[in-house]
Amino acid sequence: MRVTGSCHCGAIAFEAEVDPGSVGVCHCADCQKLTGSVFRANAPARAATFRLLRGEPKTYVKTADSGARRAHAFCPECGTPIYATAAEGERTSYSLRIGTLDQRHALAPPARQIWTASALPWTRDLLAAPASERQ
């Protein structure tokens, strides 16, 4: 599926191809910090399909618990996380942040969750919280 995306302020725009059923959620402490939220949701895109249309993201390199070095890209103007990819060597894929995708509502529910040991307990039962369609 072809997707387009952008940061909050519009300085960064991109396009890529993703499998709509490949959405994943990560609950690790790094992802919580990097997103400023309770988890990170992303969809992988093969590097050959990813193309920046506007702007140049700033990157921050983080060494994961696995030892892998990941380049986390974000908008230098508004701070929106855009993607993560290999920090060195050939980039084979980009982990696109779901919230930046224009077609996010067309994606399937997450196919997997990882680092659930770090998940905040209440994230497993969000549907139990009172909800309203608008503020």
Average pLDDT, the chain: 93
Give the pLDDT confidence score for residue 84 in this predicted structure: 95
Give the pLDDT confidence score for residue 90 in this predicted structure: 85
Angstrom distances, CA of residue 32 to CA of 5, 16, 20, 45, 90:
21, 25, 23, 22, 27
Count of beta carbons in the 10 Å neighbourhood of residue 9? 13
What structural domains and CATH numbers belong to the chain? 2-118 (2.170.150.70)
Give the β-pairing of 51-54 and 2-6: unpaired
Higher-pLDDT residue of 55 and 64 is 55
- For the chain, the 3-state helix, strand and coil shares in percent, each to the nearest 5, are 20, 40, 40
